[in-house]
Amino acid sequence: MKANRRIVHIDMDCFYAAVEMREHPELGNRPVAVGGASGRGVLTTCNYAAREYGVRSAMPVFKARALCPNLVILPVRFELYRAASGVVRDIFKRYTDLIEPLSLDEAYLDLTHHKRSGAELAGEIRQAIYDETQLTASAGIAPNKLIAKIASDWNKPNGQCVVAPSRIDEFMHPLPVRRIWGVGPKSAAKLTAMGIETCGELQALDQTELAQNFGSFGLELYKLCRGIDERPVEPNRIRKTLSNESTYSQDLETLEACEQALLNQHHELIEDLRNSAPDRKIAKVLVKLKFSDFRRTTAEMPSTQAEPKLFLQLLREAWGRSGQPVRLLGVGVRFAETDSSPEQMELSL
């Protein structure tokens, strides 16, 4: 691992809700959420005042209102959020060309070429974001992407966390294994059954044991639980797919609730396409579900357009395979083949 790299992960704080609060100063410190306002709608995000009541992203509106009767729910306005994201992206460009956006509200920056410390640069970037957008951001500063992303969540909101190379072992040892990139509920449950909850405990297993239990991902786990991640920041990564997904703290019990959640996801997908892949040709559209019993299913069809009616059709097909409550819902597109090299990574759904 290149220990001298300075990777910063910037993550905007409750981005959509924060933009709406900026546009509505009369709301003051009231709990605010963004999403479908109907009783069967689902929240896209909420501010920290709402989270104090137990309100969470992807929560059905009726449950959110039960927890917080004075919750202000505003409609989604992606054009507004995209404009704010553009200002933030322009600030990043003042510091580096090595920018890897993950969504409208987060990105990796490689600041290795700067002489100043990553902590100083991250603080300066966050201050510029606030000065020019009146929005706050949190940052993780580390020698690699894995640790930087975890660290950006450490001192939220409006904070930052530095993990120096000399502190990697100290940082990783007590870290819950579920915080590792790629460890989902199924892998976490399997590790728990093996008596493993932390990265330190996972480090006690050798590569052979991990490969026997987790296949090729076990070899990745061996590195990741030690904080080893050599992935570069890739500003020009050519994607084979583009997708987003949400895991719900409360399962979606009905097909109608899934349809409302899917429409929210679809809005985000369309904005991501416009923002990060405006010229890519779509070959397929797909919907992914994970049910309450942890079974997964994916439905897809050929299409050159990401129309909502197609995703709803796929949702009904996927839902019909089980009918169980849904804990995770994702939507995505597969792009038409390009001349890209076979080594390019496909985004995981």
Residue 95 lies inside a defined structural domain of this protein: yes
Report the alpha-carbon distance of residue 191 to residue 288 in Å, rounded: 24
| Residue whose token pair is 């009783």 | 39
For the chain, what is the mean pLDDT? 88
208 and 269 fall within a common domain: no
Residue 60 lies inside a defined structural domain of this protein: yes
Q: Which of 78, 93, 122 is the last residue of a domain?
A: 78
Rounded to an integer, the average pLDDT of 58-72 is 89
Would you call 106 a catalytic residue per the annotation? Answer: yes
149 and 217 fall within a common domain: no
Q: Which of 142, 165, 188 is the last residue of a domain?
A: 165
Q: What's the number of CA atoms in the CB half-sphere (13 Å) around residue 141? A: 20
Residue 235 lies inside a defined structural domain of this protein: no
Residue 231 lies inside a defined structural domain of this protein: no
**Cβ neighbours of residue 341 under 8 Å, at least 6 residues apart?**
none
Report the alpha-carbon distance of residue 110 to residue 60 in Å, rounded: 38
Entry pTM: 0.73
Instruction: Dig out the tokens for 56 from the structure.
Output: 């969470």
Residue 38 lies inside a defined structural domain of this protein: yes
Residue 56 lies inside a defined structural domain of this protein: yes
Q: Among the listed ranges 93-102, 141-150, 209-218, which one has the minimum average pLDDT value? A: 209-218
161 and 178 fall within a common domain: no
What CATH number has the domain bearing residue 191?
1.10.150.20
Domain interval for residue 67: 16-78
Between 295 and 238, whose confidence is greater? 295
What's the pLDDT at 231? Answer: 92
Residue 69 lies inside a defined structural domain of this protein: yes
Rounded to an integer, the average pLDDT of 55-79 is 89
What CATH number has the domain bearing residue 58?
3.40.1170.60
What CATH number has the domain bearing residue 289?
3.30.1490.100
Between 215 and 201, whose confidence is greater? 201
Tell me the angle at which helices 207-214 and 216-224 cross, rounded to the nearest 10 degrees: 130
Contact 130/36 with Cβ under 8 angstroms?
A: no
Catalytic-labelled residue, pool 100, 106, 220, 300: 106
pLDDT band of 197, cuts 50, 70, 90 = very high
328 and 272 fall within a common domain: yes
- In this structure, the number of other CB atoms found within 10 A of the CB of residue 266 comes to 20
70 and 102 fall within a common domain: no
What's the pLDDT at 37? Answer: 60
| Total domains in the fold of the chain | 4
262 and 325 fall within a common domain: yes
What's the pLDDT at 121? Answer: 97
101 and 74 fall within a common domain: no
Q: Which of 50, 78, 106 is the last residue of a domain?
A: 78
Residue 344 lies inside a defined structural domain of this protein: no
For the chain, percent of residues with pLDDT exceeding 90: 63
Between 183 and 194, whose confidence is greater? 194
Rounded to an integer, the average pLDDT of 31-38 is 81
For the chain, percent of residues with pLDDT exceeding 70: 92
